[in-house]
Structure 1
Amino acid sequence: MKKWTKVATGLIAIFAVASLAACGAKKSDASKDGVKTYTVGVASDQQKEIWQKVSDSLKNDKIKIDVKLFSGYTEENPALADGSLDLNSFQHVAYLNNYNKENKKDLTYIGYTIISPFGLYSDKIKDPKELKDGDKVAIPNDPTNGGRALQALQALGVIKLKADAPESPDVKDIASYKTKIEIKAIQADQLVSTLPDVTAAFINTNYVTDQLHTTPKKSAIYIDTDHLDKVSELYKNIIAVRKEDKNKEDFKKILKAYQTPEIAKIIKSTNDYPAWDTTK
């Protein structure tokens, strides 16, 4: 029994030394490499490509960005909140504000990325002026993009919003219909497939490019960013982070790497607009 105890003790000691050696080797490798990896969540192939270029430009800073592509808008913020993501880049300010309010979270953002055209599309009419009583118009069912659609309908003279309507209004904030359309709220990633069943639909640009394989300039019958004075800054897209990471030095470097003339050029080539001050 004593002999077995000595053997067991010896084996434990050997495993302990081996484990320490392995841990030491791993720590040494990490220290030697020194590259820190962060994961960003995006919702379009366009943003995936941009973030891969941002990652390439951060090599000298020993920062690598892994890009995770999501198919919709519902998973990115929970993943950021629970630590599965370090950053996300898919939403505008209004969407983040609404998420925080509904989920009692305090996610924040470190800077602007793009402002995306928000267009009205139709297989049945060529101009919004052709909308008539009884026509069905689909809008995103999330409060922020739905609100942006309603603001666009007001700009088009189709509806009138209440004087005290919030910056991101809901259907209940409509004071009157100048054209008695039927508004249908549909999940954002389903709007393209709904298009044949409605007169027209407001569709987010990433779904236009990914699912319709076209651009707002080519296919939309109305684009709200052609009238920027009527588009709230709430609809500028952002890089979101957890509150405790807002002043993280690496994230400042990441923001700087995003907000460059090279990335601005890519954004403009994809029909979006840089949302930061490009004159600085």
Structure 2
Amino acid sequence: MSLKKRGVIAASIAALAIAATALTGCASEAPANSEGETSEGPVRIGVVPGGQPYWEVFVDEAAKEGIEVEIVDFNDYPQPNPALSAGDLDLNQFQHIIYLANHNVEANDDLVALGSTVVYPLNVFSDKYDDIKDIPEGGTVAIPNDESNRARALLVLQSLGLLELKDGGSPTSGVEDVIADKSRVKVTELGAELIPASLPDVDAGVINNDYVEPAGLDFADSLGSDSAEDPAVAPYTNIFAARAEDKDNETYLKLVEIYQTNEKVQAALKDYVGDGAVLVKLPQSELAEILTQAEDDYRAGK
């Protein structure tokens, strides 16, 4: 399945690179301040990957509330947080709390979780097998190579009985924690965006929700996943992220509310992801606690 038609005015990574100087200049003219007052210009929200059609509905519904929104498309995960910190974006919405914690620690940044969106169960797919039990002894499973999703993928594979991790695993587990003589499979690390196309070359792959539908995969064909109902999955709640000085910005908080409660937005999201997402509404204070704990855990695990 090809990427769905972009439904909003959006910039590609290439366009951002070409227009970096211009974007930075715009950032000083149009951000909203901590009192919720927004100067002339749209609220720019970075997303990964581009072309998700529910954002078009979100933009339309925000406009009805008097908020102009521009969705900025990125092709991979490492880009939107630096762009947010630099002021090229006002918000981003692509990551879970663990990913943000890793970014903050590594970049010495202080981005915050403004509001919760959904939990995307992390799914295992295969081009060769229809059941997790059919994956052979010594088979190879591809997992994302970014630190937060790497650990989560390993925990998913452990929960499905494919491998065993040292000390039961943690949000900072790496491939070095796989106990080889107690594991059915080997793991190989790839960029998250590359795993769908690599399924013919491996026995299975752990694929982030963002890349499932664009790759023509169906959540109904998943061989297994983690559960949004598991308290241990709370740190993998996806969020709107903002700069620390904007955590009380009324305009930005209103956008979170629109995402969480607007029936048209929720219907469009459900239509796009099907059973691939579970809506989560956590208070900002709880998100802050989870983020702080995740940052502490990440520092301790380094």
Per the normalisation by structure 1, the TM-score is: 0.79
1:65 aligns with 2:60: no
Letter in 2 for 1:254: L
Q: Which runs of structure 2 are paired with 1:92-107 in the superposition (5 Å)?
A: 92-107=96-111
Are the aligned partners of 2:53 and 2:268 in contact in 1 as well (CA < 8 Å)?
A: no
Rg larger for: 1
Contact 2:212 2:218 in 1 (8 A): yes
Change (3 A) 1:177 1:114: farther
CA spacing shift, 1:188–1:95, aligned 2, 3 Å:
same
Per-residue Cα deviation, 1:187-212 (whole angstroms, up to 9, x for no partner) = 1111112111111100112211112x
Letter in 2 for 1:251: Y
Preserved contact between residue 40 and residue 89 of structure 1 (Cα < 8 Å): yes
How many positions carry a matched residue from both structures? 240
Distance 1:168 1:267, change over 3 A: farther
The within-5 A match list for 1:59-208 is 59-163=63-167, 165-175=169-179, 177-208=181-212
Identify which range, 263-272 or 246-255, moves more after superposition.
263-272
Look up the match of 1:258.
259
Asked whether the equivalents of residues 116 and 239 of structure 2 are also in contact (C-alpha less than 8 Å), the reply is yes
Q: Which amino acid aligns with 1:119?
A: N
User: Is the contact made by 1:115 and 1:273 (CA closer than 8 Å) also made in structure 2?
Assistant: yes
Matched, 1:224 2:229: no
* SS of the residue 2:56 aligns to: helix
Q: TM-score, normalised by structure 2?
A: 0.73
Q: Which runs of 5+ in 2 are unaligned?
A: 1-38, 283-302
Sort the Cα spacing of 1:179 and 1:166 in 2 relative to 1 into closer, same or farther, 3 A. closer
**How far did 1:228 drift?**
3.4
CA contact (8 A) 1:135 1:199 kept: yes
Query: Contact 2:50–2:74 at 8 Å: present in 1 too?
Result: no
Query: CA RMSD, aligned part only?
Result: 2.1
Identify which of 203, 210, 213 aligns with 2:214.
210
Mapped to 1, the partners of 2:238 and 2:171 lie a distance apart of 16
Q: What amino acid does structure 1 have at the position aligned with 2:76?
A: G
Secondary structure of 1:41's aligned partner: strand
Give the % identical residues: 34
Which range is displaced more, 98-107 or 162-171? 162-171
Structure 2 SS opposite 1:228: coil
Q: Secondary structure at the residue paired with 1:166?
A: coil
Structure 1 gap segments, 5+ residues each: 1-33
What is the rounded CA distance, in whole Å, between the counterparts of 1:164 and 1:120 in structure 2? 20
